[in-house]
């Protein structure tokens, strides 16, 4: 499976939206949207990461479950690598 950021970015581009379009419609900062697309979820406050991913995936009409599974897996790997 591709990384979460690549999936988000490719889908956003495929439907012709800019980061600023997503930011306006979701009220998520462009800084956090860019961080998600770059796979830098550690740059997003922990309490918001999963929620922002849900909102962004919904906005892009993506299947959320595989993304959440990958998110949890990546989060666990980050924790164990410390």
CATH topology of domain 4-80: 434 Repressor (Amino-terminal Domain) (1.10.260)
Q: Domain locations in the chain?
A: 4-80
Is 1 a residue whose pLDDT tops 70?
no
Q: What is the pLDDT of residues 39-80, one digit of tens each?
A: 999 899 989 999 999 999 999 999 999 999 999 988 887 777
First vs last Cα of the chain: how many Å apart? Answer: 24
Distance CA 19, CA 75 (A): 24
pLDDT tens-place string over residues 20-44? 999 999 999 999 999 999 999 989 9
Report the Cα 24 to chain-centroid distance in Å. 16
Examine the pLDDT at 82 and tell me if it is beyond 70: no
Residue 35: predicted pLDDT = 96
For the chain, helix (H) and strand (E) counts, in that order, are: 5, 0
């Amino acid at each position: 499976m591709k990384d979460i950021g690549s999936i988000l970015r490719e889908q956003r581009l495929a439907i012709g939206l800019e980061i600023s379009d997503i930011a306006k419609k979701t009220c998520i900062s462009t800084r956090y949207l860019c961080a998600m697309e770059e796979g830098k979820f550690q740059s997003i406050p922990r309490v918001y990461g999963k929620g922002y991913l849900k909102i962004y995936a919904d906005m892009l009409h993506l299947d959320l479950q595989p993304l959440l599974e990958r998110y949890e897996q990546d989060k666990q790997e980050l924790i164990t690598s410390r």
